[in-house]
Chains A and B, each alone.
Chain A
Amino acid sequence: MSKLRLEVRGARKQFPGVLALDGVSLALAPGEVLAVVGENGAGKSTLMKIVAGVYTPDAGAVELDGAPVRFADPASAIAAGVVLIHQELNLAENLTVADNLFLGRELTRGGFLRALDRRAMNARTADLLARVGLPAERAFERVERLPPGEKQLVEIARALGTDVRVLIMDEPTSSLTQKETDQLYVVIDALKAAGVSVLYISHRLAEVKRVADRVVVLRDGRNAGELAKSEITHDNMVRLMVGRDLKQFYPKVKRTGTGGDAVLELRGVTFRGGPAHPVSLEVRAGEILGTAGLVGAGRTELSEAVFGVRALTGGEVLIGGAPARISSPAEAIVAGVLLVPEDRRLHGLVLAESVGFNLALPNLDRLGSLFGVQRKAERELHQTWIDRLRVKTPSAAQPVGLLSGGNQQKVVYGKWLARGPRVLILDEPTRGVDVGAKAEIYALIDELAGSGVAVWMITSDMEELLGMSDRVVVMHEGAIAGELSRDALSEEAVMRLATGGTGT
């Protein structure tokens, strides 16, 4: 390693009640991709925000190319070449790509009127788009019309427009398809070649393995360890993140997985806004049916149709062998079909309300009557599920939006477990959940299937799919592309079906 591009020494940051960072250090060489991993709450975000000038550290030093820096705000960090790309992208959706690339630093002809120099900006836009592999005609497209992957690339292009030296990416692939992710890797490689240093934060350890030259692991606001390129394995990272071995990360303890009777059966189902071809599948008692597919394969839409969010236009849904008419989530819930939705912040939880409010919301009909909720019964329900799922919260009155992602997800599970599911549909069951909570959720899913619940798990996380599924159905462009038994299950087989190839 030659001269360092960025060095952080002993960074410390105290928030009211929490010591977020307790003397964290890291070093980054020019043209290096350094992944920072850790559970939620380990201090990754705080560290990144210190580097990018969002926060100022209470103690410790940051050096850029050997010179100490202390950014007062993100603007001065950007001016120095340190750019943070947030997980929730910060693009003006209603403006064009070109407008976004120059937002706040438009090229002008100068003078009092600051008339825009369109020609200069267009030329520069074409150059920037080419560097991230986007076609030049995207320049005049409104950002809201772009798929998520291209938005990510626009963010990177914008960073490139500022002569970036350190690019920080926070969960850049969380909403990308595999193809878009691959494109992102290509761009990252190009950035490296151009000498840009990248700080890469991700929960997806497979991705870290692919992209990182080195990994720094944080735990509880401290450095937990560091892995060189050759040492980057899933097990090594997890061990450092949680500080212990996770023997049973994907448990199969409680369930047999052979499956009993079909509890949920779709026969030739078509639905509004869905593809023309009908879909059939069944989920059996006591098994976990995994469903894979690329983003846009129609998996979420299919599960929404079963849950009553989307109207069926053909075929039938059988629950426990009997035809069920489900035209709203309320009816699905009565039938025992419960959904843990993909977007828990939008669909899964009333974020502004408390943990208890959310746990009780779908169960109020069972707490006394609708006309008088029994407070004692409700308190018992709160305590039961907070304890059983080990939700880390100061009390049931805590607004659920203030919990970590993993604990929020546990509340979503809790509100359904309190009802007792027959069919549990899990759409991305551990998205944005840290490793420790993930293991707990997997154990929970295993236990549920073991008790006879039919679990239908939709996931884009390959490790999760391979680790947890007893059987896998792969979707491609709205249709079932094939089914894989546990024995035939492999990443290659899944990807072949998911990309439209034929099964073996």
Chain B
Amino acid sequence: MTRILGVLGLLSILYTVLKFTHPNATSFGNLIDVANYQGRYGLITLGAALVIIIGGIDLSIGSAVGCSAVLFGVLIHKGVHPFAAVVSVVHFGATLGLINGLLITRLKLQPFLVTLCGMFIVRGVARLIGAPVSGTVGTEKVLAVHPEFRGAIESLRYALIGKDETGELLFPMQFVLLLVAAVAVGFFLHRTAYGRYWYAIGHSELAAKYAGVNVNRHRLAVYVACSALASLVGVLLFLNEPSVQSDNAGAGWELYAILGAVLGGCSLRGGEGTAVGMVLGAMVLPVIESIVNFRGEKSDVIPFIVGLTLLAGTIIDELIRRRSRVSR
């Protein structure tokens, strides 16, 4: 609860700063633009947070996003109908999660190492499948080959991103998607037995096992969910951007996702976190980016500011925790 208040406080400070940064910064146009990115990062944050709650980590999220975006483009390029391509890409993502999960649960490899290797391998796959289209996919590029898909792609973009045919953002549908997904995650986490099992696994895998929880099956399911969400975000990335490069699309996003999860109250030791916190945590980064942009500074300072903000948050959080802990 204090964590949620904390990140709410941080968000209100950031939005206030944003307001005074530039007259246009809190215009409807910019706010929905920020929300658009918040939705995108939020979806991968949900996946990353679930993995963190069960005591794992997934470093392959960014590569999965990029690879899925490229795969989506390449599939349409090859004549697959965009609707069918969405289904295929999410399947592909689920398969990536299954492979991660099986390596972790069956071979008992460390999640950090498995998904670190996955990060490189999946990025490699993205570049290999992107090579025939010279490493770049994009809406106009595929439509040049298959003009018959214009309608399908534009309706997908309208429904999932909220952008019209000119590319103008009308409504932040990605944020709506985030809320829908967060409600589903929250239901599982806080209302069903599965959520209890995940918290138990995160805190103490052995105690969960001895209480009759099928630990491996649950860990597997969570890795699958995480990668499937990442691949969905890959589709969204393709639809949102004019073009996507196989060598850098989504690169480093796993860290944004982990950052959002931690800001939202997930402990990297596992067993802690709430759905509300995840959403709020994921909202922080896009606001910071917007502030930096409106101050007219180069985007080069973004990593610096992000790192500093998180460090300050971590220090404040630790100080609060120390004060509230009953000293014995």
Contacts and interface: CB of A to CB of B under 8 A. Distances in A.
Interface of A: 15-17, 307, 309, 328-330, 332-334, 339, 341, 346-353, 357, 360-362, 364-365, 367, 369-373, 415
B326 interface: yes
A370 B194 contact: yes
B327 A16 contact: yes
Contacts of B210: 307, 309, 329, 339, 341, 347-348
Given A16-B327, A330-B214, A361 B192 contact: no
Interface in B184-233: 191-194, 196-197, 199-200, 203-204, 206-214
Given A16-B327, A352-B203, A371 B192 contact: yes
B138 interface: no
A225 to B, nearest CB: 27
The 6 nearest A-B residue pairs measured at CB? A364-B193, A333-B212, A370-B193, A330-B212, A362-B211, A347-B210
Nearest to A364: B193
Nearest to A349: B207
Residue among B197, B206, B207, B327 with the highest chain A CB neighbour number at 10 A: B207
A364 B194 CA distance: 9
B196 A346 contact: no
B206 A346 contact: yes
Contact of B192 (A330, A360, A372, A415): A372
B265 interface: no
A365 B214 contact: no
B328 interface: yes
B211 A361 contact: yes
Interface of B: 191-194, 196-197, 199-200, 203-204, 206-214, 271, 326-328
B214 A16 contact: no
B213 A330 contact: yes
13 contacts: A15-B328, A334-B212, A339-B210, A341-B210, A346-B204, A353-B203, A357-B199, A357-B200, A361-B196, A362-B212, A364-B197, A369-B193, A370-B193
Given A364-B193, A373-B196, 18 more contacts: A16-B326, A16-B327, A17-B326, A329-B211, A329-B212, A341-B210, A347-B206, A349-B204, A350-B199, A351-B207, A352-B204, A353-B199, A361-B197, A364-B196, A364-B197, A370-B192, A370-B193, A373-B192
B220 to A, nearest CB: 15
Given A353-B203, A373-B192, A361 B327 contact: no
Contacts of A309: 209-210
A361 B208 CA distance: 8
A365 B211 contact: no
Contacts of B197: 361, 364
Nearest to A55: B328
B238 to A, nearest CB: 34
B203 A365 contact: no
Contacts of A349: 204, 207
A373 B191 contact: yes
A328 B326 CA distance: 38
A351 B191 contact: no
B203 A350 contact: yes
A357 B196 contact: yes
Nearest to A344: B207
Contacts of B212: 329-330, 332-334, 362
Nearest to B214: A330
